[in-house]
């Protein structure tokens, strides 16, 4: 199994209060699959994604990605893992405002082991003609396209998306989901995506429903709905 999470626990302590955010999470995702994590606010979705992506660490349990047990990595090995194998897409794009679209992609390509071509990924997200623009000159949907290109240019083994359409209007959100669907198909990238929106789970191979730090349901979709046919 490409991604395997077993008995993952995580607590945060602030002052005298300890909150158990993940209470023994287990999940699996095969290579090339698209998984969706559904759940209410505060249920632990981002914490789970951040641990899988090597941004954060669990307290207990095991996370294996592409045969590597990341729970056993040193800090510098975890940084290399994150840089070389993981692409992140966030709700609020996080582009560098002082760099052009092309430069935002280039800084990531430069530190990647086997990057794709900058123009190739900009073309794939429909932003090649805006290569010399700055992020503030773009709409939210366009900025998210650039952030997808930035995540994809490193040719990541795993693409992690945290509410990628959370800040977008309905039709732009559907465009972005269609784009992620194309990336998934064209590049064969394994994708794990967090959403509040249950309708989006129709495009996934696997759906994990999270409640209060536990996966309460794992569903396998035999039929995957194309993003252009999803409605909510």
Chain positions contacting ligand ATP, by CB under 6 A: 12, 14, 19, 21, 39, 41-47
Instruction: Tell me how far, at minimum, the Cβ of 175 lies from ligand ATP, in Å.
Output: 22
Instruction: Tell me how far, at minimum, the Cβ of 81 lies from ligand ATP, in Å.
Output: 20
Complex with ligand ATP: residue 13 or 171, whichever CB lies closer: 13
Instruction: Tell me how far, at minimum, the Cβ of 51 lies from ligand ATP, in Å.
Output: 10
Instruction: Tell me how far, at minimum, the Cβ of 200 lies from ligand ATP, in Å.
Output: 14
Complex with ligand ATP: residue 3 or 138, whichever CB lies closer: 3
Cβ count within 10 A of residue 73: 17
* Cα-based distances in Å from 32 to 14, 22, 68, 107, 187: 39, 26, 17, 26, 9
| C-alpha–C-alpha distance, residues 68 and 145, integer Å | 30
Complex with ligand ATP: residue 36 or 125, whichever CB lies closer: 36
* Maximum separation of any 2 CA atoms in the chain, in Å: 54
Complex with ligand ATP: residue 47 or 201, whichever CB lies closer: 47
Instruction: Tell me how far, at minimum, the Cβ of 199 lies from ligand ATP, in Å.
Output: 16
Q: What is the DSSP string of 161-201?
A: EESTTTTS-HHHHHHHHHHHHHHHHHH--EEEEEES-GGGG
Cβ partners under 8 Å of residue 198, min gap 6: 38, 232
Q: Please say whether the beta carbons of 77 and 54 come within 8 A.
A: no
β-strand partners of 69: 64
Instruction: Tell me how far, at minimum, the Cβ of 23 lies from ligand ATP, in Å.
Output: 11
Complex with ligand ATP: residue 14 or 223, whichever CB lies closer: 14
Which of 151, 154, 100, 153 has its CA nearest to residue 129?
100
Complex with ligand ATP: residue 21 or 108, whichever CB lies closer: 21
Residue matched to tokens 């993003």: 227
Cβ partners under 8 Å of residue 105, min gap 6: 118, 121, 122, 146, 149, 150, 153
């Amino acid at each position: 199994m490409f991604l395997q999470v077993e008995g993952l626990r995580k607590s945060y302590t602030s002052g005298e209060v300890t909150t158990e955010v993940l209470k023994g999470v287990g999940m699996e995702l095969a290579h090339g699959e698209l998984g969706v994590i559904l759940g209410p606010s505060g249920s632990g979705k981002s914490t789970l994604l951040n641990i899988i992506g090597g941004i954060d660490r669990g307290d207990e349990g095991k996370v294996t990605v592409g045969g590597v047990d990341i729970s056993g990595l040193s800090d510098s090995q975890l940084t290399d893992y994150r840089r070389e194998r993981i692409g992140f897409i966030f709700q609020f794009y996080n582009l560098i405002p002082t760099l052009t679209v092309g430069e935002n992609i280039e800084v990531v390509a430069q530190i990647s082991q086997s990057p794709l071509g900058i123009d190739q990924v900009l073309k794939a997200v429909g932003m090649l003609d805006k290569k010399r623009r700055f992020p503030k000159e773009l709409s939210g949907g366009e900025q998210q396209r650039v952030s997808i290109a930035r995540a994809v240019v490193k040719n990541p083994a795993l693409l992690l998306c945290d509410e990628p359409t959370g800040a977008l209007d309905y039709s732009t959100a559907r465009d972005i989901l269609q784009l992620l669907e194309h990336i998934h198909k064209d590049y064969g990238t394994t994708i794990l995506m967090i959403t509040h929106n249950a309708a989006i789970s129709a495009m996934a191979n696997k759906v994990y429903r999270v409640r209060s730090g536990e996966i309460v349901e794992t569903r396998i979709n035999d039929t995957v709905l194309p993003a252009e046919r999803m409605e909510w």
